[in-house]
Structure 1
Amino acid sequence: MQVLVTGGAGFVGSRLVRGLLGEYGDIRIISVDNYFTGTEANHVADERVTYLHDSTVNIRKLWANHGFGDLDAVFHLGEYSRIPQSFDEPDRVWEYNLHGTKEVVSLAHEHGAKLVYAGSSSKFGNGGQDEHLNPYAWTKAKNVEYIRNFSTWYGLDHVITYFYNVYGPGQITDGPYATVIGIFETQYAKGEPLTVVEPGTQTRDFTHIDDIVAGILTCHRSGSGDGYLLGYGKERSLVEVAEMFGAPYVLVPARRGERTRGQADTDKARALGWRPTIDLPDYIEQVKRDLR
C-alpha cells in the first residue's frame, strides 16, 4: 500500500505516520510538508517513509516527477490551521487551504485513492454560523463543500473527519502557533502564571493526539462521507483547564475570530467502533508528575 500524508512533519501528521507504520507492515508513505509549522525533528527514521519539502499546490507535478506511481490513500492534514493568525495571513490561508486542497483532491481522484480529509470543528459552532468568524474557518468549511460536491460530480471515495483541540506529546508549545495546552505546559514548567484568553468561560473539547490518530485510522478503514467528529465529547472552560494545573492564572485580551463553545458529537465516529480513551485531567496530572 502506498499513501500520501500531507503535513507529515507536523504535530498530528507525524503521529499519524507512526500510526500507519504500526498498522500496516507493507506500506510506503510519502510525506509532503512545506514546514511552515512542521519540523524535521518530527521525522520518523524508517525506510518506508519518504519526506518531501514542498507545497500541496505542486502535489500533482511532484507526484509525477518522482514517479511514485499508484496511490491508495491520501491523508490530507497539511493546511493552515490557526484562527487569530489567519486574519493577518489571508493570502497564505488561501494558498494552503483552497488552492492546495484543490490539487490534493485532483490527485486522489486521478488515482482512485481514498481521501481522508481533516476538516475543522470550527464550522459547527453557533448553528454553523461560526464558519464565517475568520478566514481559516471559512476556507476549511468551503473545502468540505468542495469535496462533497466533487464526489457528487466526479466520484471520489472520501471520509471527512473533524479534530477537536488536539493536545499531547509533540504539540507546539511556544510561538504564535502554539496550542492552548502547550502554552499552559510551558508556563507551568517555568513557574509563570497561565495566560487565559478572556473571558475564560469559553469552552473547548480537548482531545489527546493518540485518540485523534486512532480515529483517523478507524475512519480510513471503515468510514465514508462526511460527519466524523473526533473529540473527547466533553466541553471544558479555559479557566477550568487552567485550574487543573493548580497554578495561578491571569486573563489576557480576547482574540479576534474565536468561538465561544466547542463540543464534539462523536456518535458517528463511535458507530465505527472508535472510542476516546485519554481524558485531559489525567494527562495534566501526568505532566505535573513528570515536572516534579
Structure 2
Amino acid sequence: MKKILVTGGAGFVGTNLIEELIKDKNNIVTSLDCYFTGKKENHIDGVNYVEGFTWEIDKIFESNDFDIIYHFGEYSRIVHSFDDINFVSESILRGTPKVFEFAKKCNAKIIYSASSSKFGNNGKDENLSPYAWMKAKMVELLKNYNAWFGLQYEISYFFNVYGPKQIYEGNYATVVAIFERQFKNNEKLTVVKPGTQSRDFTHVTDIVSGLIAIENKNLNNEWHLRSGKNVTIIELAQMFGDWTLIEERRGERFTSEEFFSDTEELLEWKPLISIEKWIEIIKK
C-alpha cells in the first residue's frame, strides 16, 4: 500500500488529482487543507480529509507518515498577493519549509507545485510580485534540502490551469473561469488592459496525467506541464464572444515564455485537451 498526502487536497488541482489517485486501490490518500480556497463540497468518499495549516503539519500528523507528499497547499494568486502578503508569507515562507521538513522526517518523496510565473519576461518576473518571489525561493530551498539531506523531490510547474472545479467567483477566480461565467450570464467579457498578455492554458486533466507520470520518476527534476501554445487574453476572449477592456492591475504578468523543455520526452506525456476544444464544449 502507498500512503499519499495531498496538501490543498480540497482545492481545484488537488481534487482533480485525488480523483485519479483513488482509482488505484493500493493508494491510501489523505488531504490537508485550510479551506482558504478549498471547498468541502469537493470531498471524495474514501479519502481522509484533515483541516489545518501546513505550518502545523508535524503536530497534525505526529503519529503518521507518508510515502508521497504532493504539496499544493499554498497561496496561489499573483495580483492579489500584494494585498494578502501576510497570509502569502505564512502560507509559503512559513508553511512550505515545514512541509519539506516533515517529508524529510517521513523519508517521503515530495512533489512540489512551483509557479510558472518566474519564467515570464526572461526570468525577471520572478520579482514581479510577492507570490512569484516566494515561490521561486521555495524551489531553491527544496533543491538545497536534496543536497543537504537527500530529500527526494520532483518539481512540477503548472501553466494557467483550467477545467472542472476551477474557481468561478471572487478574487481567486481564474481568467478562463471568469470568462466562462460571464459568457453564460450573457455579459461582455472583461479583459484586463492591454489584453496582449499571453498565457499558456493547460487543462487540469493534462496536469493530473502529468503528475501521475512524475510520481513514477526519481530524477529530482523540474517538469513543465503546459499545452505548449501561448494565447493572448484578447484571443481567449474572442473565442467566447464580445469583450471590453478594463483597467490594468499591479503585478500583471505580460508574457508566458516559450522555451525548450524535455518534459514531454522524458515523461512520455503529452497534453491532449486544447483551450479551443474546451471553449467549444462550453459554448455548446
TM-score of the superposition, structure 2-length normalised? 0.97
Q: Distance in 2 between matches of 1:264 and 1:160?
A: 19
**Aligned residue number for residue 115 of structure 2:** 120
- Number of equivalenced pairs: 282
In the alignment, structure 2 segments of 5+ residues that lack a partner are none
Query: What letter matches 2:31 in structure 1?
Result: S
- How far apart are 1:150 and its partner, in Å? 1.3
Of 237, 255, 259, which residue of structure 2 is paired with 1:261? 255
Q: Matched residue of 1:2: which SS? A: strand
Q: Distance in 1 between matches of 2:113 and 2:242?
A: 35
- How far apart are 1:232 and its partner, in Å? 0.1
**Aligned residue number for residue 151 of structure 2:** 156
- How far apart are 1:236 and its partner, in Å? 0.3
- How far apart are 1:264 and its partner, in Å? 5.6
Q: Matched residue of 1:81: which SS? A: coil
**Aligned residue number for residue 7 of structure 2:** 6
8 Å CA contact retained: 1:7, 1:31: yes
Query: What letter matches 1:4 in structure 2?
Result: L
Say whether 1:188 aligns with 2:183.
yes
**Aligned residue number for residue 49 of structure 2:** 51
Q: 1:266 to 1:107 in 2, by over 3 A?
A: farther
Q: Matched residue of 1:258: which SS? A: coil
- How far apart are 1:123 and its partner, in Å? 0.7
8 Å CA contact retained: 2:119, 2:257: no
- How far apart are 1:224 and its partner, in Å? 2.3
**Aligned residue number for residue 246 of structure 2:** 252
8 Å CA contact retained: 2:122, 2:257: no
Query: What letter matches 2:19 in structure 1?
Result: R
- How far apart are 1:26 and its partner, in Å? 1.4
Q: Distance in 1 between matches of 2:84 and 2:123?
A: 23
8 Å CA contact retained: 1:231, 1:263: no
8 Å CA contact retained: 1:117, 1:161: yes
Q: Distance in 2 between matches of 1:30 and 1:98?
A: 23
Q: Distance in 2 between matches of 1:224 and 1:96?
A: 27
Q: Distance in 2 between matches of 1:207 and 1:223?
A: 24
- How far apart are 1:266 and its partner, in Å? 6.8
Say whether 1:273 aligns with 2:274.
no
**Aligned residue number for residue 124 of structure 2:** 129
**Aligned residue number for residue 168 of structure 1:** 163
**Aligned residue number for residue 19 of structure 1:** 20
**Aligned residue number for residue 82 of structure 1:** 77
Which one is further off, 25-34 or 220-229? 220-229
Q: Matched residue of 1:222: which SS? A: coil
Q: How does 1:227-242 map to 2 (within 5 A)?
A: 227-242=222-237
User: Once the two structures are superposed, what CA deviation does each residue of 1:202-242 show, in whole Å capped at 9, x if it has no partner?
Assistant: 10000000000111111111252232111100000000000
User: Once the two structures are superposed, what CA deviation does each residue of 1:119-140 show, in whole Å capped at 9, x if it has no partner?
Assistant: 0000111221101000000000
**Aligned residue number for residue 61 of structure 1:** 59
Q: Distance in 2 between matches of 1:135 and 1:236?
A: 25
- How far apart are 1:265 and its partner, in Å? 4.4
Which one is further off, 142-151 or 268-277? 268-277
- How far apart are 1:268 and its partner, in Å? 2.5
Q: 1:266 to 1:159 in 2, by over 3 A?
A: farther
Query: What letter matches 1:57 in structure 2?
Result: W
Query: What letter matches 2:270 in structure 1?
Result: R
In the alignment, structure 1 segments of 5+ residues that lack a partner are none
Query: What letter matches 1:207 in structure 2?
Result: T
Q: Distance in 2 between matches of 1:111 and 1:54?
A: 19
Q: Distance in 2 between matches of 1:130 and 1:284?
A: 29
TM-score of the superposition, structure 1-length normalised? 0.94
Q: 1:264 to 1:52 in 2, by over 3 A?
A: farther
Q: Matched residue of 1:242: which SS? A: helix
Query: What letter matches 1:273 in structure 2?
Result: E
Q: Distance in 1 between matches of 2:109 and 2:76?
A: 22
- How far apart are 1:88 and its partner, in Å? 0.4
8 Å CA contact retained: 1:59, 1:103: yes
Q: Distance in 2 between matches of 1:127 and 1:237?
A: 18
Q: Distance in 1 between matches of 2:126 and 2:68?
A: 28
- How far apart are 1:262 and its partner, in Å? 0.7
8 Å CA contact retained: 1:234, 1:263: no
Q: Distance in 1 between matches of 2:212 and 2:238?
A: 33
Residue identity over aligned pairs, in percent, reads: 45
8 Å CA contact retained: 1:215, 1:269: no
